[in-house]
Amino acid sequence: MIDFSAEFQKFIEDRIEEIIDEITEKNIDYARDMAYLEKNCEKFEKIINKLPDRERDFINEYENNSYRMNRIERKEFYYRGYKDCIKLLKWLGMI
């Protein structure tokens, strides 16, 4: 039996990645910021690794939590967009 929930989650994740690729192609500011992050990743890591263990661990945990929250938010916003679209189509009497 197909696990539709898991399949839909995979669909959302794949679609979000496609959207990010499209944003990178179309939005100069986004592409510039992405390039900056990619260019400076090693420099950031070198600076972080010079910190004492306690501070480095805090920054890494903070960064990981921020990233996870952002992923959850993006998936939820995308999912809610689908739900809102269906509600709108129902309200308009199209479905």
Q: Which pLDDT tens digit goes with each residue over 12-58?
A: 889 999 999 999 999 999 999 999 999 999 999 999 999 999 999 99
Residue 82 lies in a domain: yes
Q: Give residue 29's domain range.
A: 24-91
Q: What pLDDT is attached to residue 22?
A: 95
Is residue 12 within 8 A of residue 79, CB to CB? The reply is: yes
Is residue 51 within 8 A of residue 59, CB to CB? The reply is: yes
Residue 87 lies in a domain: yes
At 62-87, the pLDDT tens digits run 999 999 999 999 999 998 998 999 99
Integer Cα distance of 50 and 11 in angstroms = 40
Residue 13 lies in a domain: no
Give me the number of domains the chain comprises.
1
Asked whether the predicted pLDDT for residue 60 surpasses 90, the reply is yes
